[in-house]
Structure formats: C-alpha cells, structure tokens
Structure 1
Amino acid sequence: MKKSYYILVLLPLLVFSISTNAQDFLYGDPLPDAPELSARGEYSVGVGTYDMLNPDQVDILNSKDGNDPLYDRPLTVEIWYPSALPVNVKATTTYNEVMGTRGDTLRPLVPFTFKGRAVRDAVPLKKEGGFPLVIVSHGYVGSRYLMTYLTENLASKGYIVAAIDHTDSTFKDANAFQSTLLNRALDIRFVLNQMESLGSSKSKDLLKGLIDADNTAIIGYSMGGFGVLNVAGAGYSDAFAGFTVGMTGGSKAIGIHSASNPEYQKMVDPRIKAVVAFAPWGMERGVWDAEGLKGLKTPTLFIAGSEDDISGYEKGIKAIYQGAVNADRYLLTYMGARHNVAPNPPPAESLQPGLHIDEYYRYADSTWDQRKINNVNQHFVTAFIGTHLKQKDFKKYLDVQSDSNEKNWAGFKPRSSTGMELLHSAPTE
C-alpha cells in the first residue's frame, strides 16, 4: 500500500513536469529526431525592428494609361543578430502577429502572439569583419515573422538576418497582386543596400561594422522565391512581361526585370553568394522560360513539396531546378507535402472553432509535421549557406544519395531520414 501511495503522489508531479516542458517548446526547437545541423549555434540572439523608406518608387496600383506615378515605399524589417549576452542567458521575446488577410477574401484579422528565443534590442556581439548577411522574403500573404524558426536559428550561428514585411503583401495590408509582382525584387535589392549602409563604418546604428554584405544569402518563400530568383539573375520571360502590361494600367515597370532587357543583365549583384528558394511561384504561369533561367548562375537550394498545388512541382519548381542549367543547384523535396514547406508551425489560435481553415493552412502541411520540416530546413539551409558564405566543409550533409529511404542521410538519426529526395546538378558552363 505504501508503494502505491508514492506512485499516486508522484504521477501528478510527472504529468505536471511533462506539461511544463511541452509549454517551453518554442518554434524551431529541435525534436528528438532533429538532424545534426538544426541545433542552435553558439551565440545568443538579439532582435530589432527597423522602418525603412524606399523613395520614388513606381506606384503600380495607381498606374493608368501607361503613366506610372511615384511614391515613397515604406518597409518594415526585422533584424536578428548575434548578441553579446552569454549563450546560457534565457532569451525570450514576444512577436505580435495576425491571422486573416485584408486581401480579396477579406477574412477578419485575428491578433495573436508567440514567443521566440531572442532578446529585443540586445547589445550586438562585436566581431572583426562582421557577420555574413541573410535576407528573407515571405510569401503572399505573409509577414517578416513567418519563418522565425529559421531566422533566429541562423542568427545564433553567426549571421545577420533581415526579414522584410513586403508592403501590400502582408496579412495586415494585402493589396492587388501587381504590387507583389513588381516590388519583390525591388524590395530585396533595396534592403540589401540598406543593410550594407547600416553596417558601414560611417553608420551610427548599433550594427555598425557588423554586416558583411559582400557575403549575402537571399531566402524566399513562394512569392519570396519568385523574388529572390529574379534578383539572382533569372529574368522574366517576354510573354510574362507583356501579360503584366494589361493588368497594370499599361505600366511596363515589371518588364524591366525581363531577361531580354540589357539593363536587367546589369542588375545581377556579386554580393549575393547563395540563394534558397522555398516553393518558388511562377513557372506554371509562364514567368520564366529557358533563356531566362539560364541567367541564374548563383548557387541555389530549392526546397519543395512533391504535391505543391500552388507553385506546382513537376511543371513548376522542379522545372525551374532543371532549367537553371548554369547554377550549381540542389532540390530538396518533401514527398507528399504541398506548398507550406517554409512557415512556422500553425499557431494555437488557428485551432479555434469557427475560424476559416485557411488560417490553419497558412502554416500547416496536410501530410508532414511542420516542426519536422522546420528542423530539416534548419539543417540543410545551415549546410548550404555555410558552404558558400563561410566556406565550411558541409559536403557530407549535401552530397547524399538522392532517395532518403535507401540509406540514412548524414547528420540524421537512425530511421529519421525518410520520405525525402535530394537532387544535385552542377552547372553546364
């Protein structure tokens, strides 16, 4: 009887302990089967919010009869960075987000918050030569907080990470699609230049001297993938440029980024050393053709779901991968997954009865555990950009057999690397 008594007393304590630990699990934390490079790095993380203004931009939402009015385009950018705090200091911050969208469907905005492992406005860690730069571009619709599992993780590994709120494309301010088509590439280029200025020797910002913009990776998801590919050299097709004239009041502004435009060819930025494109949109809509994809020469990691029903897979993302013949490139595929291979897991608030299912499906995949996807993304993005921005030897993690079911992939725990494919193609030139 005495033994039974102690068991009954300890059981609630055990349940309480498990429950408490579960509550401490934040986005991006490693699951028990997380691959090796998904673990956070050696640095604690600081985070700050920056408001930027890009002057004299084409106001394509008000273009008419081929005339393009101009406006000063506002952008909000969240920046994560290695901080001077000891790594064992408990670092937490709260991110304020909304569900819903003010776009065509006009679903009401539902505010929610979630925690992250960073300290707001912490003193940055000083480092001679600074840290490589990563710029992150979200989907349509989305926000700068859509991939905090990745942005925090990369900052902890010694990167400055800037995630953009693309005006007219966020949950809060979604507007007509032509703004997204025009401004993705422009926003990314502008933020890269702004980040270089923030880190310059003449800067008065706390990040002065800490941003190595000459070693930059650009990461995009969905429409963000559309944007980063164009910034990196994949010019739009003439057919796509012609189509957009009709939907933009006669504006030819989008066509400036076409492969056939000699001025576009001069826009390829040597500071960009690596590209990560999650589920990039556009191939099935004629955005790119063979000639345009030849312009992509920057090493690129594509990440996709084999059942992507937004960007398409065989005739969409995989076709981009196959057509980018002049880039050293990888294609990581989650077999059976759909489009959502990049976001954070669904917030608890998305489970509330009565909400539109799209609040859940902005984040969740119908087949895969999103936390598993997050950990695998952390692993492969770390290996890929670490190779090109830090010259680390991560070859064994990238050069694995294509079918993950045949043999355990390097860095994965036994029996954990199933249901994936990793293809690699070298450039032809």
Structure 2
Amino acid sequence: MVNRLPTLKNLLLVLFLGVSFLTHAQPATDAFLPGDLLPDAPELAPRGPHAVGVRTLKLIHTAQVDVLHTKEGKSPLYDRPLTVEVWYPAKIPAGKPQLVTYEDALGRANDPKRPLVPFTFGGRALREAEPDGSQGAYPLVIVSHGYPGSRLLLTYLTENLASKGYVVVAIGHTESTYQDLAGFQSTLLNRSLDDLFVLNEIARLGAKTAKSFLSGLVDTDNTALVGYSMGGYGALNVMGAGYSAQAVKFFGQLAGGSTALQTRTLSDPGYKTSIGPRIKATVAFAPWGMERGVWDAEGLAGLTGPTLFVAGSKDDVSGYEKGIKAIYDGAVNADRYLLTYVNARHNVAPNPPPAATLKPGQPLDDYQHFSEPAWNERRINNINQHFVTAFLGIHLKKLDYAKYLNLPETSTTEPWAGFKPRTSVGLEMRHAKP
C-alpha cells in the first residue's frame, strides 16, 4: 500500500504557501472598510450609483459668544473656526482607485490619562476628485458628531449617502473634538449655531456664481440633519425643539452666569425665525439631554418636521425610557419613527472601533467609545445605512420607500421589508404621527 498521508514537511509547506497567498495576494485595497457590507446587510444598505469624492474645508464663524471665557456673566466674542469634511458625487479618472486615508486621533485633549494617539483608517472615496454635476444639484445632509467626537466618526454613512446622490457635510465642532476638547458649555451653546452657520455657508459656496467646487452642486433648500448624541441634541433644536428654562439654568451654572443659551428657547424672539423651510428632515442618533431636563413638553411640541430617532434600549448616556424614548413620545407634532436596537447601549451611530483601539496598552475607554457590547458594530452600520437611506429618500428625494419604515413594531415569524430571513431580530420600530 502506498502511504498517501502528507508528511509534516509537506503540511508546513502547504501552511506556508496558504499564509503567503493570503498576505501577498490580497492587496490593501481589499481590506474590509467602514461601511462595507456584511452578507446579511438589508436591501438599501449597498452604495448607490455615484462615485464619491471628499474634500476638507476650513470655515470661520465670526463674532461668536466665547462662553469659555465668561467673567461676571459677560462673555467676549471670538471668531470660531470650524473644519468640515465634504463628500459628494464625483468623477473618478479611469484606473484611479476610489480610496482615501483618513487621519484622526484617539484620547482626549488636556487629559494626561488619555493622551492623544493619532491613527489612520481607510475609506472608499477619492480625495479632491472632480465633482459630478451632470445630474444637477444634490440634496444636502449635515452631520454632527458627539462630545467628544470627530467629523470622521460616521464615514460608513457619509460615504454611503454621497454615493446615493447627496452632498454630505460633517462638522468638526470646535472645542468638542478629541484634539481640542474644552468646556461642555461650548458644546451646549454652539451645536445648533454651528449647524445653522454651516447650512448658510454651504448655501453661499453652492451658489451658481460662487468660485467653489460646490457651485451648482448642492441644493440647500432640500436639507437634512443627522446628529449623534450631542449632535442629536443640537439637530433637534435646529428643527424646532426649544430648550427649556431648566436647560438655560444648567448652562448658566456651567458658563459662569451667562444666559447665551436663552437665544435657543421658544421664548426668544429670534429663535423661531431661525427655523426655516430648508431643513426637511432630521435623523437623531441617541440624542442627549432629556434626563437632564433640557426639554419640556412645550419645547418638544415645537418639533414639527419628520424625525427618525435611533436608540439602544440600554443607553446609559442619553437614557432610553426617560431619555430618547421620552423625546420621541413628547414630540407630539412631528411625524416620527423610533428604531431601537434591543440591548444596545449608546454607540448606535459611529464607525466600528478602529484598529488603533486594539493595540496592547491602549485604554479600554478608547475601544468602548466605539464598541457596542451586545451588537456587531458593522451590522449596526449596515442597518443604519438601510434606514437612513429610506428615511432621507422619502423626504429629500420623494422616493417610494414607505414600506421600509412602516413596519410592525417587532418581527415575529416574517422579517421586516428589506431584511433577509431571520435577520430583523433584536430590532423594534415605532411610528407616531401628529
């Protein structure tokens, strides 16, 4: 009998060749990047027909209240810098890979226990690509991160939306990013103000007479806001949810007696005039503030635009029953949805944890700033891509996507519309009309 069992030497050779093939035959461009699809991704999660370009803009919001330097209740003014990232439908030259390297940081500014650690990660867009204006102007989506956070925190979603025919602008909120983290009172005041300023700046840069790559490319009269945590706090205020008297008092305690937040309450004459018709819809991921009395019944009643809330049922930052769900219940004049990830905590919006968080010795807090203990983060990303596509498609593009949102509260024997069999488990969807 011939012995056909492989020798140890041959086994090692096969193993070596297999590892060699995996490491050398798989180029870096084949990496699984934020936003790429898992096999069970729902129907609207895939990218759209457009190639994607990306650029960075530096903006200056002049003469803003500097609440970090308030003395005796009086605040000086300063020119507030804002860095924004813009994704847009683009023309990609033949043979040019649609890839980009983003630069971000872990840690916290001014915290010796959490030193800043720069890191990079990949994306599927081309830096400085030529805009594709062949289909006219595209709706605008403004994205606002948490505290602290980054304009690059949701690239899985920003790239995805740009590929579907949106201009997407993510704000790096000054004094609220990892690199420049400062007092919380700046975030409380400036979130909604930053959103409105960026909307106006993009309108200016998008004018047909403007000398900007955005000229004629963006329709700011057809805008949506997407906010996560403190970004959701600001987005809801821009949409009409005025802050409460208790919020103003809390702010004054932090800001040395300053009453600057009063301008974002229903009682301020200028507040309602700031709520214009340009913003058609809002997506609020885990919006913060209800458990701290930021809103009351009167303020929430001011929210009248279509709103999609996204939450984890175990959110221990914004709260769920007395937090996000209470905001949803109180927004009685809005056509609103609440998508709930059962047993998820607060991180239902960001990219998956970057590789830099996995290095030995890296603080656990950096990993937990991105991770969800009960869910696969990439799975959450795909589900968010699906539902945000449906919601914005309805309100900004007038697409017939209602079946993807008008769902039973839970899926029992049959999956939700757009989901593969057995894959809508662990999700809840509520819907309420005015």
The TM tier, using the shorter chain, reads over 0.9
Equivalenced residue count is 427
Task: Decide which moves more: 117-126 or 86-95.
Answer: 86-95
| CA deviation vs aligned residue, 1:175-209 (integer Å, no higher than 9, x gap) | 01000000000000000001111110121011110
Q: Does 1:367 align with 2:367?
A: no
Aligned amino acid, residue 367 of structure 2: Y
Q: Does 1:214 align with 2:230?
A: no
Cα RMSD after superposing both structures: 2.0
Q: Does 1:127 align with 2:134?
A: yes
Q: Given that residues 405 and 420 in structure 1 are in contact (C-alpha distance below 8 angstroms), is that contact kept between their aligned partners in structure 2?
A: no
Q: Given that residues 65 and 249 in structure 1 are in contact (C-alpha distance below 8 angstroms), is that contact kept between their aligned partners in structure 2?
A: yes
Q: CA deviation at 1:251?
A: 1.1
Q: Does 1:280 align with 2:287?
A: yes
Q: Given that residues 305 and 333 in structure 1 are in contact (C-alpha distance below 8 angstroms), is that contact kept between their aligned partners in structure 2?
A: yes
CA distance in 1, matches of 2:266, 2:18: 62
Aligned amino acid, residue 292 of structure 1: G
CA distance in 2, matches of 1:82, 1:97: 23
Q: After TM superposition, list the pairs within 5 Å mapping 1:136-175 onto structure 2.
A: 136-175=143-182
Structure 1 alignment gaps of length 5 or more: none
CA distance in 2, matches of 1:73, 1:244: 19
Q: Does 1:51 align with 2:58?
A: yes
Q: CA deviation at 1:247?
A: 1.9
Q: 1:407 aligns with which of 400, 411, 414?
A: 414
Aligned amino acid, residue 197 of structure 2: F
CA distance in 2, matches of 1:271, 1:216: 6
Q: Given that residues 280 and 305 in structure 2 are in contact (C-alpha distance below 8 angstroms), is that contact kept between their aligned partners in structure 1?
A: yes
Q: CA deviation at 1:242?
A: 2.2
1:339 alignment counterpart: 346
Q: Given that residues 414 and 421 in structure 2 are in contact (C-alpha distance below 8 angstroms), is that contact kept between their aligned partners in structure 1?
A: no
Change (3 A) 1:343 1:152: same
Q: CA deviation at 1:68?
A: 1.7
CA distance in 1, matches of 2:402, 2:20: 43
| CA deviation vs aligned residue, 1:136-178 (integer Å, no higher than 9, x gap) | 0000000000000000000000000000000000000100100
Structure 2 alignment gaps of length 5 or more: none
Q: CA deviation at 1:103?
A: 5.2
Q: Given that residues 278 and 303 in structure 1 are in contact (C-alpha distance below 8 angstroms), is that contact kept between their aligned partners in structure 2?
A: yes
Change (3 A) 1:405 1:353: farther
CA distance in 2, matches of 1:200, 1:340: 36
Task: Decide which moves more: 31-40 or 123-132.
Answer: 123-132
CA distance in 2, matches of 1:13, 1:270: 62
Change (3 A) 1:354 1:281: same
Q: Given that residues 93 and 120 in structure 1 are in contact (C-alpha distance below 8 angstroms), is that contact kept between their aligned partners in structure 2?
A: yes
CA distance in 2, matches of 1:331, 1:275: 12
Aligned amino acid, residue 200 of structure 1: A
Change (3 A) 1:312 1:21: farther
Change (3 A) 1:58 1:74: same
1:224 alignment counterpart: 231
**Please, what TM-score do these two structures have when normalized by structure 1?**
0.95
Aligned to 2:64, the other structure's residue is in SS state: strand
2:397 alignment counterpart: 390
Aligned amino acid, residue 227 of structure 1: G
Q: Given that residues 242 and 265 in structure 2 are in contact (C-alpha distance below 8 angstroms), is that contact kept between their aligned partners in structure 1?
A: yes
Q: Does 1:251 align with 2:251?
A: no
Change (3 A) 1:202 1:100: same
CA distance in 2, matches of 1:298, 1:144: 25
Change (3 A) 1:287 1:16: farther
CA distance in 2, matches of 1:282, 1:121: 38
Q: 1:205 aligns with which of 182, 207, 212?
A: 212
Change (3 A) 1:13 1:273: farther
CA distance in 2, matches of 1:208, 1:359: 39
1:242 alignment counterpart: 249
Answer with 1 or 2: which has the greater Rg.
Answer: 2
Q: Given that residues 148 and 344 in structure 1 are in contact (C-alpha distance below 8 angstroms), is that contact kept between their aligned partners in structure 2?
A: yes
CA distance in 1, matches of 2:67, 2:268: 20
| CA deviation vs aligned residue, 1:324-354 (integer Å, no higher than 9, x gap) | 0111000000000000000000011101122
| CA deviation vs aligned residue, 1:265-322 (integer Å, no higher than 9, x gap) | 2211210001000000000000000000000011000000000000000000000000
Change (3 A) 1:208 1:239: same
Q: CA deviation at 1:30?
A: 0.3
**Please, what TM-score do these two structures have when normalized by structure 2?**
0.94
2:83 alignment counterpart: 76
Q: Given that residues 99 and 359 in structure 1 are in contact (C-alpha distance below 8 angstroms), is that contact kept between their aligned partners in structure 2?
A: yes
Aligned amino acid, residue 361 of structure 2: G
Aligned to 1:367, the other structure's residue is in SS state: coil
Q: Does 1:290 align with 2:297?
A: yes
2:306 alignment counterpart: 299
Change (3 A) 1:25 1:87: farther
CA distance in 2, matches of 1:251, 1:231: 21
**Percent of aligned positions with the same letter in both sequences?**
59
2:70 alignment counterpart: 63
Aligned to 2:348, the other structure's residue is in SS state: coil
2:185 alignment counterpart: 178
Q: CA deviation at 1:412?
A: 1.0
Q: Does 1:422 align with 2:434?
A: no
CA distance in 1, matches of 2:75, 2:138: 39
| CA deviation vs aligned residue, 1:358-416 (integer Å, no higher than 9, x gap) | 10011001110100000000000000001000000001111111103442011111111
